[in-house]
Amino acid sequence: MSTVKTHMRDMLEIAQDEFIMRGRIRDILKEEPKTILEISEILGYPSREVTIWLFGLRRYGEVEETGRPDVDGYFKYEFVEKKEEEEAHA
Amino acid sequence: MKTDKQKTDYDVMVVGAGVAGMETAASLGDMGYKVLLVEKKSSIGGKAILLSKVFPTLDCASCIVTPKMAAAAHHPNIDVKVYTEVDEIKRNTDGSFAVDMHQKASYVDFDACTGCGQCEEICTITVPDEYNYNLVTRRVAHIPFPQAVPKTAVIDRRGEAPCTFTCPSNVKASGYISLVRAGRYKEAFNLHIENAPLVGSLARACYAPCEEDCTRCGKEETVHIRGIKRFFSDTYYEEHPEPEYGPVEEQLKTKVGIVGSGPAGLSAAFYLARNGHQVTIFEAETQAGGMLRTAIPAYRLPNEIVDRDIKNVTALGVEIKCSARVKSAASLKEQGFDAVFVATGASDERNMGIEGEDLEGVMGCMKFLRETKIGDVPDIKGKTVVVVGGGNSAMDPARSAIRMGAKRVIIMYRRSREEMPAHSWEIEGAIDEGVELMELSNPKSFIGKDGKLESVEFLKMKLGEPDESGRRRPEVIEGSETTLPVDLVVLAIGLKPSTTDFADEIESEWGLLKSDEKTLQTADPAIFAGGDCVTNPTMIVNAIAQGRRAAFYMDKHLKDESLDAPFDTDFLLEKTDKDAVLEESKNFKPRSPVLQPMMPLEERKQTFDCYESVMTEEEARKEAHRCMNCGECSQCMECVNVCPAFCIDFTMSERPRSLTVGSVVLSTGYEVLDPAAKELLGYNRIPDVVDGLQMDRLLAPTRPYNSVLRPSDGKEPESIAIVLCNGSRDHTVCNPLCCRIGCMYSVKHAQLVMGALPLADVTIYYIDIRAFGKGYDEFYEQSKGMGVEFVKGKASRIEQLDNGNMELHYEDMEGEGGLGKREHDLVVLTVGFLPNTEAFGLFKPGELEGDEHQYVREVDPISEPGKTTIDGLFAAGAIIGVRDIPDTVLHAGAAATQAATYLKQTRGE
């Protein structure tokens, strides 16, 4: 799945999918950091929708980007163990 | 007539707390006037606080706007009321204004909320984030944006979810569904017991009225709510064979006696014990559970589940005394119980009053089911059984008889199948298992020999006119007597309340005990009665609801508190408009239901084991995912559980207020044209076509992404097109006005993009550039110097290419002329603006005049800026026409001065 033409689902419909998809995205990123396109490919969902779900996770600190984008302009994102982070701060 | 300052609540009310409103309020506050600043959203700041930077100085928008927000919020002369809508404004004869308004229910105590955001993080419902112009999602419990003032959360609710609303005990089905979807099963269980403690029994035997009212029925079919409940209750009971809790710490000395251990009695005991009362249940049978244990066949509700449910109650210290029939509530009071709850149920059998009913081989359905359930099984293998009746209580013995090996099982019913009160799926289940339906037939007598049943003589019936129940009345066909050899007849013609023991001490009617509908208190203040003995036989969940209600008011009684207190059902919102939810989701893809796996038919007929299997975790979450979030907030209560300030309150309601003010300033801003109206430009069709406001969010420090990325795949764009004049100066969308700020904010976008993405190419397609303000032309020239390409051309169409990029078609207005096309990987549409016409609705029709474009009309923009057609009412900022921030600030100052002058004049100062 990539950026090629796809039917754009309604934003509300995509939002309703978020709680199902976030677990799957977390599991994918636990293995190794990935770009949105790579996550999209694994999930089989359009990259636009993955963008929305991924940044829903990032908003609450569950994923973050790793360094600079690659030569094609894509960032990789990694899973953040929130508990460990909190303990480290403690 | 002069206005009496003492009679006004505020000198001035300013409606709308964007830049204009905040500036007006601050100016008037500085002059010493008491100002009420009203904002319908939960934060002040308007649209400007969401911008990236401002032109032409490229100052950070937050740096410009947050000081104004803080000034307004902390000014000693300004009261800010957010989440408040003005309903009506009337000018009084003395020149002051009468105002009706209401503060919307935010379900968060603004004074107590610390803005920690924990409610938002734990919330289980996501919706599009309007503060990021739908580029990402937010939760329904949310703080609108990081710089919000006040920085408090609000919770979106548009009504009670139909499932929750319909449930007699208002079990928050939408809440536990959202928890299952989020993978929080223990939390789902804990949410359920807040409204009904017998989770396992309901998961298997509830008739699930919630499913009948599910909005999803309007699309494919109901969400299988009971199946989801079965999943989390089984999961929880497997992981927790014993409850995780014990008696509550604070034990009271008050003693409560409960008569009957059915669902009503158990539920009342549960909630009373949670409040620290000492509860004893008296049960006439040898084991607790009432009808759950004795009347619901094991293939639907095994006794192990009833036992585990009862542990939820006894873990709190509730004592259950079995084989302890109580014949008088007063006797319990004499034994020292401070209050008594009579919940004896309705398990007494009705009889037909025909010959032969006393024969061996004729029995009531309760007796038959009881003997079947507790193991004293009648031997009916290879025999013929007739069950008389057409309700659910007829289906259970019929289906049980099949499992007990009966050769032939017949349900005899005097009306036709269509009139049967049993659920259609129950009837279908019975027929599938081999039960025969004998419609329009009714026993006339039971014929026996030596006291033992041998046959039933029955009459054929026909349907006449409808009776008071609306069903067609059965009428006997004379001479139609027929005899059917039979070994066992089970009468399932109805049950009556088990109340004879209490008839002398509690008022009753037709056998039903009488208690107050709201409090369930009887004429004796210490005696309460509820459940089937008050309501007649209904569903388990009805009895649970009665028990919960009784516990609430018994607790009040025992604590000498008023019984006028509202019960939690009094705080229910109106049921969500299902049609509106269906309309909103009309383009959503169908979501096929997950069907609960069933035991194969032949197998199920041989056993009393449950024929419904439990869903797997994946299936349960998939099914939960079909929920349409009808009420927005699902009331999963996770926010309540996590809030450190205890500031979430779902009993909150809208707070109306009426007041008088000396003058009013309207500053409700403008609306943004939906770029989807320009269909050929691809907005809402091509993901990387965004509008100007979205571009501002992408560029803002509080941006939704980690960088300036295109929405389709998170790529940093390399070639960005900014297209001016979309829906402004455009008669095709009925908006002939120049938006006045589009050219400059687009130049701002171009400069900011070049700063954020130095290697990106930026092209601005324009008709003409309007750089009329101080420093604007220099700003424009500066962008050209930075390398922004300006193409004088009108964009006509944008198409998505196979590589995901966009091809922009335009009319080249200079250079070589003709039609051109270029490829870009992000397109920004600079959109037009529209008047906000809400303000006109606050006055009598026609009282507040608009100009020809429906902006509020300034009567004399040159000599009296901000003055409207209503004396004493002023308008500030974009409500009279869109303008940039400096001009808005100037205009707000003028409006403030006008209002001050008016106050001085009307007060004779």
- Any chain A CB within 8 A of the CB of B709? yes
What is the mean pLDDT of each successive set of 10 residues along chain B, which is 909 residues long?
Answer: 77 98 98 97 96 93 95 97 98 96 97 96 97 97 96 97 97 98 97 98 96 95 96 97 97 97 98 98 96 94 96 98 95 96 92 93 93 80 95 94 95 94 92 96 95 96 87 91 96 90 90 95 96 92 98 98 96 96 94 89 92 94 96 97 96 96 97 92 95 97 96 97 93 90 96 95 96 92 96 94 95 88 97 94 94 95 94 97 94 97 90
Residue A1 scores a pLDDT above 60: no
Task: Compute the nearest-CA separation of A44 from chain B (Å).
Answer: 13
Task: Compute the nearest-CA separation of A72 from chain B (Å).
Answer: 8
Alpha-carbon distances of B780 from B55, B282, B334, B895, rounded to whole Å: 10, 86, 92, 31
Residues from chain A that touch B804, judged by Cβ atoms under 8 A, are 2-5
Nearest by CB to residue B121, choosing from A16, A17, A60, is A60
- Any chain A CB within 8 A of the CB of B877? no
When scoring B137, B216, B586, B691 by the number of chain A Cβ atoms within 10 A, the one with the most, hence best to mutate, is: B137
Token representation of residue A1:
């799945």
Nearest by CB to residue B685, choosing from A4, A8, A53, is A8
When scoring A16, A21, A66 by the number of chain B Cβ atoms within 10 A, the one with the most, hence best to mutate, is: A16
Q: What is the pLDDT of residue B165?
A: 97
* Nearest residue of B to residue A47, measured between CA atoms: B713
Q: What is the pLDDT of residue B520?
A: 98
- Inter-chain residue contact A51 with B711, CB threshold 8 Å: yes
Token representation of residue B257:
């006696």
SS3 content of chain A, % helix, strand, coil (to 5): 55, 10, 35
Nearest by CB to residue A75, choosing from B134, B589, B714, is B714
Strands (E), B253-393: 255-259, 278-282, 319-321, 339-342, 348-349, 362-364, 384-388
- Inter-chain residue contact A8 with B684, CB threshold 8 Å: yes
Residues from chain A that touch B709, judged by Cβ atoms under 8 A, are 51, 75
Strands (E), B746-805: 761-766, 789-800
- Inter-chain residue contact A3 with B712, CB threshold 8 Å: yes
Token representation of residue B685:
């069709």
Q: What is the pLDDT of residue A89?
A: 43
Asked if A60 and A70 touch (Cβ cutoff 8 Å), the reply is no
Residue A36 scores a pLDDT above 50: yes
- Inter-chain residue contact A15 with B709, CB threshold 8 Å: no
- Inter-chain residue contact A12 with B584, CB threshold 8 Å: yes
- Inter-chain residue contact A69 with B717, CB threshold 8 Å: no
* Nearest residue of A to residue B138, measured between CA atoms: A56
Residue A85 scores a pLDDT above 50: no
Q: What is the pLDDT of residue B472?
A: 86
Residues from chain B that touch A23, judged by Cβ atoms under 8 A, are 183
Q: Quote the distance between the C-alpha of residue B833 and its chain's center.
A: 33
Q: What is the pLDDT of residue B494?
A: 87
Q: What is the pLDDT of residue B4?
A: 73
Whole-angstrom Cα distance, residue B519 to residue B339?
13
Residues from chain A that touch B137, judged by Cβ atoms under 8 A, are 14-15, 18, 52-53, 56
In terms of C-beta density within 10 A (0-12 exposed, 13-18 middle, 19 or more buried), how is residue A27 classed? exposed
* Nearest residue of A to residue B124, measured between CA atoms: A19
Q: What is the pLDDT of residues B128-174, one digit of tens each?
A: 999 999 999 999 999 999 999 999 999 999 999 999 999 999 999 99
Residue pairs between chains A and B whose CB atoms are closer than 8 Å? 113
Q: Name all contacts of B571-575 with Cβ < 8 Å and 24+ positions apart.
A: B571/B650, B571/B651, B571/B653, B572/B160, B572/B164, B572/B165, B572/B170, B573/B157, B573/B159, B573/B160, B573/B631, B574/B159, B574/B160, B575/B159, B575/B160, B575/B162, B575/B165, B575/B166
- Inter-chain residue contact B714 with A54, CB threshold 8 Å: yes
Task: Compute the nearest-CA separation of B701 from chain A (Å).
Answer: 14
- Inter-chain residue contact A2 with B713, CB threshold 8 Å: yes
Whole-angstrom Cα distance, residue B25 to residue B639?
35
Strands (E), B105-177: 126-128, 137-139, 141-142, 154-155
In the numeric block, the tokens 């244990």 are attached to B293
Residues from chain B that touch A18, judged by Cβ atoms under 8 A, are 126, 137
Asked if B412 and B388 touch (Cβ cutoff 8 Å), the reply is yes
In the numeric block, the tokens 């081999």 are attached to B434
Q: What is the pLDDT of residue A5?
A: 59
- Inter-chain residue contact B713 with A36, CB threshold 8 Å: yes
Whole-angstrom Cα distance, residue B353 to residue B445?
9
Q: What is the pLDDT of residue B6?
A: 72
Strands A63-66 vs B59-60: parallel, antiparallel or unpaired:
unpaired
* Nearest residue of A to residue B712, measured between CA atoms: A48
Residues 593-652 of B with CB under 8 A from A: 621-622, 625, 628-629
Query: Over chain A, what is the mean pLDDT?
Result: 88
Q: How many CB atoms lie within 10 A of CB A30?
A: 10
Is the whole model's pTM more than 0.80, yes or no?
A: yes
- Any chain A CB within 8 A of the CB of B245? no
* Nearest residue of B to residue A64, measured between CA atoms: B706
Identify any residues that bridge with B89 across adjacent strands, giving them in sequence order: B99
Residues from chain A that touch B588, judged by Cβ atoms under 8 A, are 9-10, 12-13
Q: What is the pLDDT of residue B1?
A: 58
Whole-angstrom Cα distance, residue B55 to residue B61?
9
Query: Over chain B, what is the mean pLDDT?
Result: 95
Residues from chain B that touch A68, judged by Cβ atoms under 8 A, are none
Burial of B140-172, coded b for 16+ CB within 10 Å and e otherwise, reads bbbbbbebbbbbbbbbbbbbbbbbbbbbbbbbb
Q: Model confidence at A82, in pLDDT bands (50, 70, 90)?
A: confident
- Inter-chain residue contact B687 with A8, CB threshold 8 Å: yes
- Any chain A CB within 8 A of the CB of B682? no
ipTM: 0.92
> In 3-state terms, what secondary structure has residue A40?
helix
- Inter-chain residue contact A56 with B707, CB threshold 8 Å: no
- Inter-chain residue contact A19 with B182, CB threshold 8 Å: yes
- Inter-chain residue contact B709 with A20, CB threshold 8 Å: no
